[in-house]
Structure 1
Amino acid sequence: MRKNAIRQDVVETASRLFYKQGYANTGINQIIEESGVVKSSLYASFRSKGDILMAYLEAAGATTDEALKAASEKFEDPKDKVLAVFDYLVALVQEKEYYGCNFLNIISEIPKDAERVRNQIRKQKNGVRNLFANILKPVHKEDLADEIYTLFEGALIGNKVHDEVWPVLSARKIADQLLK
């Protein structure tokens, strides 16, 4: 098996396991077993479980950024673009295999001094903030990006706590009112 294929198999397996069971509850041996990769091949591609986590966060970040951007690009009007991001979130949190925000799940598990992981999560979350700012810039409302972003994050947390869609719908409603 080529190194890139091994790396991809490990990241795909770890991504599924980290997302579904959590980082702390997923062991290297389980990743090896479920990916079908030999232990020496895994360690040839990754020095540690932390390196696998970083690859997971990078992949999840790229997928999330693309999905949010694609949702917003369905519309021309900035307000509709922002609301489309919330509509995407409404649909996402109702999926059967939705276990919460990848990044918020991980940040709640890692120690405060895990700077490399925190920086990666911060980078992804700043991307969401910047998406809102870029959407709102043409109508000179980019100063609302932080408020919209805070609603977005609050909706994710509220959904995780209550396991219901209403926090996302409430956040969307407030975003709609802010952008009038």
Structure 2
Amino acid sequence: MTSESVAETIVNTADRLYYERGITAVGMAELRDEAGVSLRRLYSEFPAKDAIVRAVLEKRHLQWSDGVEARMSEAGTPRERLLAVYDYLADWFCEDGFRGCGFINAFGELGGEDAEVRRIVREHKESFQRRLAEIVDDLGAPTLLAAQLALLAEGAQTTAAIAGSGEAAGQARAAAEVLIDHALSAA
């Protein structure tokens, strides 16, 4: 195994375990066993658990951004691109093992104690809102709409995880349509 593939295996394994059970519930020895690497190799790739947590959050950021962008690229108009976010959420909420937003989960678990986790989570959420703001600008609607649509997406993620149902995505999409149409009529 190359160093890159070992690191990737460790991150993928950590991501799965942290998402299933929580970051603090998974020790380094369990991660080592699940990843199939020695403890020495684990620490040579990631000198501390917080480095693995950062790598997992970076991976999740890319997955989220790529997934949302791919779904939006299938849509034509700016309005359709904004609504595609909620279609992406609907698909995600139906995946086996869906447990909500990994960023919200990490923030809830570590955000009060770990400034780096807080920073990464905030940057992730801000980047999503900035992306929505770009599309809202293309739409010709007031900038405030981006924050409102982001809140709908965040709320849908939390609601879906707690309820164990994907219905929140459709409800958020319907609310987004009302917000978009209102913003356009007011503009």
TM-score range, shorter chain: over 0.9
Q: In the TM superposition, what is the alpha-carbon distance from 1:103 to its structure 2 partner? A: 0.8
Name 1:110's counterpart in structure 2.
110
Deviates further, 134-143 or 114-123: 134-143
Q: TM-score, normalised by structure 2?
A: 0.92
How far off its partner does 1:3 sit? 2.1
Residues 35-78 of structure 1: per-residue CA shift (max 9 Å, x gap): 11111111111111111000000011011101011111111211
Give the Cα separation in 1 of the matches to 2:76 and 2:138.
Answer: 11
CA shift for structure 1 position 105: 1.3
Q: Is 1:49 aligned with 2:67? A: no
Q: Which residue of 2 aligns with 1:160?
A: 161
Question: Where in structure 2 are there 5+ consecutive unaligned residues?
Answer: 182-187
**Structure 2 SS opposite 1:135:** helix
Greater Cα shift, 61-70 or 136-145: 136-145
Q: Distance in 1 between matches of 2:11 and 2:138?
A: 38
Counterpart Cα distance in 2 of 1:68 and 1:153: 14
Is 2:95 the partner of 1:83? Answer: no
Contact 1:158 1:167 in 2 (8 A): yes
Contact 2:98 2:161 in 1 (8 A): no
What is the identity, as a one-letter code, of the residue corresponding to 1:150?
L
> 1:80 and 1:55 mapped to 2: Cα distance?
32
* Matches of 2:2 and 2:168, distance apart in 1: 45
- Distance in 1 between residues matched to 2:113 and 2:52, nearest whole Å: 18
User: Any idea what the Cα deviations from partners look like across 1:5-57, whole Å, max 9, x if unmatched?
Assistant: 22111111111111111111111011100111111111111111111000000
Write the deviation string for residues 107-127 of structure 1: whole angstroms up to 9, x where unpaired. Answer: 111141311011111111112
Normalization by structure 1: what TM-score?
0.95
Distance 1:120 1:14 in 2: 17
Matched, 1:145 2:123: no
Residue 69 of structure 1 contacts residue 131 of structure 1 at CA under 8 Å; is this kept in 2?
no
Query: Does the 8 Å CA contact 2:28/2:49 hold for their aligned counterparts?
Result: yes
Q: Secondary structure at the match of 2:43?
A: helix
Q: CA deviation at 1:168?
A: 1.9
Gaps of 5+ in 1: none
Q: Equivalent residue for 1:19? A: 19
Corresponding residue of 2:34: 34
The CA RMSD over aligned residues, in Å, is: 1.2
Does the aligned pair in 1 maintain the 2:90–2:166 contact within 8 Å?
yes
Distance 2:111 2:137 in 1: 36
Whether the 8 Å contact between 1:129 and 1:146 is mirrored in structure 2 is yes
Structure 1 CA distance, aligned partners of 2:114 and 2:51?
Answer: 12
Contact 2:83 2:177 in 1 (8 A): yes
Kindly report structure 1 stretches of 4+ aligned residues shifted beyond 3 Å.
Answer: none
Count of matched residue positions in the alignment of Structure 1 and Structure 2: 180
- SS of corresponding position for 1:75: coil
State percent identity of aligned pairs: 28
